[in-house]
Amino acid sequence: MSLLIGSAFVFIVFLTSMLSGIFGMAGGLVLLWFLLLLFPAGTAMAVHGVIQLTANGSRAWLSRRFIVWRIVAFMTLGVLSAAGLLLLFNYSPNAATVSILIGLMPILVWMPKRWFHLDANRKSHALCCGMASGGLTIAAGVSGPLIDIFFVRSQMDRRQVVATKAMIQVVAHSIKILFYLGAALSLSTGEWGMVLLAAPFAILGTQTGTRILHRLTDANFRTWTRWIVTGIGVFYFIQGIVLLIY
pTM of the model: 0.79
62: enclosing H helix or E strand: helix 41-62
Query: How far is Cα 105 from Cα 133, in angstroms, rounded to an integer?
Result: 11
Closest CA relative to residue 144, chosen from 77, 230, 76: 230
Give me the domain span that covers residue 186: 3-245
- For 43, counting Cβ atoms within 10 Å of its Cβ (0-12 exposed, 13-18 middle, 19+ buried), the class is buried
Mean predicted confidence (pLDDT) in 154-160: 79
When divided into structural domains, the chain yields a total of 1
Q: Residue 180 — very low, low, confident or very high, per pLDDT cuts 50/70/90?
A: very high
Q: For residue range 188-246, what is the model confidence (pLDDT) as tens digits?
A: 888 888 888 888 888 888 888 878 877 777 777 777 777 887 888 888 889 889 888 87
Torsion over CA: 129, 155, 56, 67 (sign): negative
Closest CA relative to residue 233, chosen from 162, 142, 153, 158: 142
